[in-house]
Amino acid sequence: MLWRITADFVIAIHLAYIAFVLFGFAAILVGAATQWRWVRNFYFRIAHLAMILFVCVEAAIGTTCPLTSLENGLRLRGGEADYGRDFVGYWLDRLVFYDAPRSIFLAIYFTFGVLVLLTFWIVPVRHSRT
């Protein structure tokens, strides 16, 4: 039971990672239009860029995400097959994982990565004054 709960926690972290990348991008665009100062924060922008670049590198070298590997290992230790079928794990997995050719994911990740890079030009980072 503990392994399954921990696996559900890992998939929740995975979903939060994805949400940060997606909603962070949307926040940068909306924030630029509405003059939100925090979307120009250097540390937020570098963290956001690093997160999507990490995904791009994973996809380019064909490795499995460490969070996916951890979740699968926990589910196996809990007596489940990969991608659990308890309520929370099932729905969180359905939100995160899709079955598509690797080339599709590469195109999506790299397109999104380029868009994130473009935000540095469209919505420049402002360094805080000390």
Express each pLDDT in 42-67 by its tens digit: 999 999 999 999 999 998 998 889 99
pLDDT for the residue 84? 47
For 73-95, how does the pLDDT look when each residue is reduced to its tens digit (9 = 90+)?
A: 998 898 876 554 555 666 677 77
Scanning the chain, the segments in alpha helix (DSSP H) are 2-34, 42-61, 66-77, 87-96, 102-122
3-class DSSP assignment, residue 65: coil
Task: Tell the burial category of 21 from Cβ atoms under 10 Å away from its Cβ (0-12, 13-18, 19+).
Answer: buried
3-class DSSP assignment, residue 126: strand
